[in-house]
């Protein structure tokens, strides 16, 4: 658990609790939870040298503390501001990981607002307000330090404190021994000396304060900036981006033993992401391995002294082994499974923000949050989901006036639902808005030449059109959606995951978008097919139907293209043995089997020799073991040890199309 992960989790907690806060009600538990999260982020970031994050959090924390103590009411403005702060902190955290750049302008803006809020209506304790600007000052310090005679009795040691100071920067000390009594009167347990210290470097006030923290009421202490500080404390316009960063580096180098530095670097190199696994899942696996070991020892015992009379026991043992292996496989796969709530969690916030921006009233319903899916799939589906929900909010749900006029509840509903179906996870995004505008989509499609004038395709095909690149029917391009980038990307992302996306829409009643995804990318439900002597695997999700060739329905076009008439559709035939250059006895269509598949919105009929079993196969990457081959998505190893290639349907379709084009070009 790195600091960054821990902090991101803390931010998630802050966000979800903030969203439940009601203006005017000081919910002590909720405020406390938010405060604690902010507090540990501040502590952690200071420990790991992220001074900018610590400084930022400090201001928010001070405000929270005032609210917690009842000195400040919970206002809508404060809630909004805290939510913005959460965003800024996320931004800073991910910037600290490298890769992205912190949006400093935005951070400064929010920080300024926080400072303003802190300064406003202050009946708050002066100390914490005074602390805040002091915190951001970096520079050199002039310190006067005179311990009270009793200070040493608390075990605090001046030498150690000076050593700490010396690690912060360059320390010069002048001793004032004027109060030292004559030797005879001297009590060796008392402190008599005073010091004037000059500490040079880019050191924050907080760092100096920390060293004197334990003795501040046991000595005369004054800490003054030595020269004009780098940042002007009361000008929140320029809060010290550069010095803070510098400060952090120096802090690391000076204070840093090797161990100190290791942790932040480990965090920022965060390429190898980690996963949190529930202990029950780990226990399951250990349990299962235990059973596997028992079965194995039973079998080896049996093998030592085997005769035919024990064949029954052998069979039992083997079926036990099979069961163990399967259960173990399932348990191991479950490690990668996370509840979809990880992807859903961002939506309450998004809906809230967008409602404000769009001036709409929308209620978000979530269900099936505990439905689990593979972590990788979850990461890849996050952005497409955001896009779809945005669309629902922006285009789907009407304004309260329009809704009232249409006799609907003025509060719109967007419902996100997830459930398992077969080996798939189904995610539904449902809104009770106006529904897709068929006429407008159609006229836009005609305008773009996607549909012939006067033609009226069936509804589902019209809806499919919105997945075309650059297709937007929004009358006005808003900053939320309507630029027409996106739906095609959504579709592409879903297809890349081996999933499908469907739209059902009823005018005036709403739209439901259904995404069907495989639960995991590591295992695939496949249909084994035979071509010549080779066995291939087709993902089950791509297969629509299989049928015996009816010769009368085969149409040859000019060149070599063959089409099969299936009901009222013409589907291009792809002869797999030709594409993969395999010797096969069945080269004529008449004896063949056609398997109708769909990939990336296009259908094709694959000519195969035979359909074999359906089974789950473990996907091995072709790229990492060999090289990328067009038309193939990977390989797997079958029960008999043979290697079978897994067909990438959309790749195969585009491959055969380009071959056809080349063939036609050559012929012409």
Partner 1 sequence: MANILAVDDSASMRQMVAFTLKGEGHQVTEAADGQVALDLAKGQKFDLILTDVNMPRMDGITLAKELRGLTNFKFTPILILTTEAGMDKKQEGKAVGATGWIVKPFNPEQLLATIKKVVG
Q: Which residues are catalytic?
A: 39, 61, 391
Q: Which stretch binds partner 1 (CB under 8 A): 207-215, 232-240, 532-540, 580-588?
A: 207-215
Q: 30 or 152, CB closer to partner 1?
A: 152
**Residue partners of 79: CB distance under 8 A and separation at least 6:** 18, 21, 23
Give the residue, chosen from 155, 458, 639, 641, that forms a contact with partner 1 under the rule CB under 8 A.
Answer: 155
Verify binding: residue 213, partner 1, rule CB under 8 A: yes
CA separation for the pair 181, 151 (Å, rounded): 17
Give the residue, chosen from 48, 50, 141, 564, that forms a contact with partner 1 under the rule CB under 8 A.
Answer: 48
Q: Which stretch binds partner 1 (CB under 8 A): 37-45, 169-177, 454-462, 657-665?
A: 37-45
Verify binding: residue 221, partner 1, rule CB under 8 A: no
- Tell me, by CB under 8 A, how many residues bind partner 1: 24
Verify binding: residue 164, partner 1, rule CB under 8 A: yes
Q: Which stretch binds partner 1 (CB under 8 A): 108-116, 259-267, 509-517, 604-612?
A: 259-267
Two tokens at 245?
A: 């960063």
Verify binding: residue 256, partner 1, rule CB under 8 A: no
Verify binding: residue 641, partner 1, rule CB under 8 A: no
Classify residue 235 by its DSSP letter: -
Q: Which stretch binds partner 1 (CB under 8 A): 40-48, 169-177, 481-489, 645-653?
A: 40-48
CA separation for the pair 391, 304 (Å, rounded): 67
Q: 67 or 385, CB closer to partner 1?
A: 67
CA separation for the pair 5, 339 (Å, rounded): 18
Residue 357, Cα to own-chain centre: how many angstroms? 24
Please say whether the beta carbons of 244 and 51 come within 8 A: yes
Two tokens at 434?
A: 């106006």
CB of 154 to partner 1, least distance (A): 5
Verify binding: residue 40, partner 1, rule CB under 8 A: yes
Measured between alpha carbons, how far is residue 535 from residues 144, 440, 531, 609, 646 in Å? Answer: 84, 47, 6, 10, 9
Q: 247 or 609, CB closer to partner 1?
A: 247
Verify binding: residue 69, partner 1, rule CB under 8 A: no
CB of 462 to partner 1, least distance (A): 57
* Residue whose tokens read 């890349």: 496
CB of 257 to partner 1, least distance (A): 9
**Residue partners of 331: CB distance under 8 A and separation at least 6:** 281, 284, 285, 288
Two tokens at 653?
A: 């379709």
Give the residue, chosen from 146, 200, 260, 620, that forms a contact with partner 1 under the rule CB under 8 A.
Answer: 260
- What are the b/e assignments for 56-85, b being 16+ CB within 10 Å? bbbbbbbbbbbbbeeebebeeebbbbbbbb
CB of 217 to partner 1, least distance (A): 7
DSSP codes, 406-473:
TTS-SSEEEEEEEEEETTEEEEEEEE-S----HHHHHHHHHHTTSS-TT----HHHHHHGGGSTT---
Verify binding: residue 380, partner 1, rule CB under 8 A: no
Query: By CB under 8 A, what part of segment 172-201 binds partner 1?
Result: 189
DSSP E strand stretches across 88-226:
138-147, 170-176, 194-204, 219-225
CB of 259 to partner 1, least distance (A): 8
CB of 155 to partner 1, least distance (A): 4
Verify binding: residue 463, partner 1, rule CB under 8 A: no
CA separation for the pair 533, 466 (Å, rounded): 42
Please say whether the beta carbons of 538 and 530 come within 8 A: no
Give the residue, chosen from 71, 156, 443, 657, that forms a contact with partner 1 under the rule CB under 8 A.
Answer: 156
Q: 157 or 461, CB closer to partner 1?
A: 157
Q: 159 or 308, CB closer to partner 1?
A: 159
CB of 9 to partner 1, least distance (A): 14
Classify residue 553 by its DSSP letter: G
Paired strand residues for 194: 176
Q: 153 or 628, CB closer to partner 1?
A: 153
CA separation for the pair 202, 568 (Å, rounded): 77
CA separation for the pair 22, 175 (Å, rounded): 57
CB of 47 to partner 1, least distance (A): 5
CB of 330 to partner 1, least distance (A): 33
Verify binding: residue 154, partner 1, rule CB under 8 A: yes
Helix (H) or strand (E) holding 634: strand 632-637
Verify binding: residue 160, partner 1, rule CB under 8 A: yes
Helix (H) or strand (E) holding 647: strand 643-647
Q: 214 or 570, CB closer to partner 1?
A: 214
Verify binding: residue 659, partner 1, rule CB under 8 A: no
Give the residue, chosen from 263, 296, 614, 657, that forms a contact with partner 1 under the rule CB under 8 A.
Answer: 263
CB of 263 to partner 1, least distance (A): 7
Q: 45 or 542, CB closer to partner 1?
A: 45
Q: Which stretch binds partner 1 (CB under 8 A): 154-162, 243-251, 397-405, 432-440?
A: 154-162
Q: Which stretch binds partner 1 (CB under 8 A): 10-18, 198-206, 210-218, 319-327?
A: 210-218
Q: 3 or 471, CB closer to partner 1?
A: 3
Classify residue 70 by its DSSP letter: T
Please say whether the beta carbons of 132 and 116 come within 8 A: no
Measured between alpha carbons, how far is residue 47 from residues 139, 144, 246, 264 in Å? Answer: 20, 27, 16, 10
CB of 73 to partner 1, least distance (A): 21
Q: 4 or 388, CB closer to partner 1?
A: 4
CB of 185 to partner 1, least distance (A): 20
Q: 163 or 357, CB closer to partner 1?
A: 163
Give the residue, chosen from 13, 134, 152, 660, that forms a contact with partner 1 under the rule CB under 8 A.
Answer: 152
CA separation for the pair 364, 414 (Å, rounded): 5
Verify binding: residue 217, partner 1, rule CB under 8 A: yes
CA separation for the pair 220, 218 (Å, rounded): 7
* Residue whose tokens read 């990977």: 634
Q: Which stretch binds partner 1 (CB under 8 A): 44-52, 366-374, 501-509, 660-668?
A: 44-52
Give the residue, chosen from 44, 412, 499, 518, that forms a contact with partner 1 under the rule CB under 8 A.
Answer: 44
Give the residue, chosen from 43, 423, 532, 559, that forms a contact with partner 1 under the rule CB under 8 A.
Answer: 43
Q: Helix, strand, or coil here: 527? A: strand
Helix (H) or strand (E) holding 510: strand 510-518
Binding site for partner 1 (CB under 8 A): 39-40, 43-44, 47-48, 152-157, 160-161, 164, 189, 211, 213-214, 217-218, 259-260, 263
């Amino acid at each position: 658990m790195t600091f960054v992960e821990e902090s991101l989790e803390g931010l998630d907690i802050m966000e979800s609790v903030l969203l439940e806060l009601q203006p005017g009600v000081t919910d002590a538990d909720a405020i406390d939870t938010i405060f604690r999260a902010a507090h540990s982020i501040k502590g952690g970031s200071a420990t790991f040298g992220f001074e900018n994050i610590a400084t930022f959090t400090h201001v928010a924390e001070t405000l929270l503390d005032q609210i917690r103590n009842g000195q400040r009411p919970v206002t809508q403005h404060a809630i909004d501001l805290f939510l913005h702060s959460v965003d800024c902190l996320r931004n800073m955290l991910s910037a600290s990981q490298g890769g992205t750049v912190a949006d400093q302008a935005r951070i400064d803006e929010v920080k300024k607002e926080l400072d303003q809020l802190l300064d406003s209506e202050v009946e708050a304790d002066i100390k914490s307000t005074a602390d805040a600007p002091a915190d951001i000052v970096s520079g050199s310090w002039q310190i006067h330090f005179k311990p009270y005679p009793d200070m040493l009795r608390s075990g605090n040691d001046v030498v150690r404190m000076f050593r700490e100071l010396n690690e912060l920067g360059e320390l010069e000390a002048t001793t004032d021994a004027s109060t030292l009594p004559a030797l005879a009167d001297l009590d060796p347990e008392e402190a008599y000396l005073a010091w004037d210290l000059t500490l040079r470097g880019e050191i924050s006030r907080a760092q100096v304060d920390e060293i004197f923290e334990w003795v501040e009421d046991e000595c005369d202490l004054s800490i003054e900036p030595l020269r004009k500080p780098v940042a002007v404390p009361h000008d929140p316009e320029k809060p010290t981006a550069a010095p803070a960063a510098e400060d952090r580096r120096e802090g690391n180098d000076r204070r840093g033993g090797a161990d100190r530095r290791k942790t932040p670097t480990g965090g920022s190199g965060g390429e190898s992401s980690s996963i949190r696994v529930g202990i029950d899942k780990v226990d399951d696996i250990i349990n299962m391995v235990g059973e596997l070991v028992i079965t194995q020892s039973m079998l080896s015992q049996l093998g030592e002294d085997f005769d035919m009379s024990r064949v029954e026991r052998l069979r039992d043992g083997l079926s036990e082994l099979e069961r163990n292996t399967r259960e173990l496989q399932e348990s191991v796969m479950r490690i990668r499974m996370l509840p979809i709530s990880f992807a859903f969690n961002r939506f309450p916030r998004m809906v809230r923000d967008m409602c404000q921006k769009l001036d709409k009233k929308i209620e978000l319903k979530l269900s099936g949050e505990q439905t689990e899916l593979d972590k990788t799939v979850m990461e890849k589906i996050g952005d497409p989901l955001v896009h779809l929900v945005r669309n629902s909010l922006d285009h789907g749900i009407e304004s309260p006036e329009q809704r009232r006029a249409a006799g609907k509840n003025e509060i719109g509903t967007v419902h996100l639902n997830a459930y398992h179906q077969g080996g798939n996870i189904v995610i539904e995004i449902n809104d009770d808005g106006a529904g897709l505008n068929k006429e407008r989509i159609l006229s836009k499609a005609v305008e773009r030449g996607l549909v012939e004038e006067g033609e009226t395709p069936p509804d589902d095909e019209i809806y499919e059109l919105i997945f075309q690149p650059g297709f937007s029917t929004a009358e006005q391009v808003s900053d939320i959606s309507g630029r027409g980038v996106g739906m095609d990307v959504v579709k592409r992302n879903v297809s890349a995951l081996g999933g499908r996306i469907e739209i059902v829409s009823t005018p005036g009643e709403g739209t439901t978008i259904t995404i069907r995804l495989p639960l995991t990318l590591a295992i695939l439900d496949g249909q084994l097919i035979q071509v010549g002597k080779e066995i291939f695997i087709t993902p089950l999700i791509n297969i629509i139907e299989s049928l015996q060739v009816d010769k009368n329905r085969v149409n040859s076009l000019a060149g070599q293209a063959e089409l099969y008439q299936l009901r009222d559709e013409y589907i291009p035939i792809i002869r797999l043995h030709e594409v993969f250059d395999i010797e096969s006895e069945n080269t004529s269509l008449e004896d063949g089997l056609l398997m109708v598949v769909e990939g990336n919105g296009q259908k094709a009929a694959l000519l195969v020799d035979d359909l074999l079993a359906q089974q789950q196969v473990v996907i091995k990457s072709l790229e990492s073991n060999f090289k990328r081959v067009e038309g193939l998505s990977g390989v797997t190893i079958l029960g008999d040890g043979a290697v079978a290639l897994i067909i990438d349907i959309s790749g195969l379709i585009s491959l055969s199309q380009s071959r056809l084009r080349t063939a036609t070009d050559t012929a012409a």
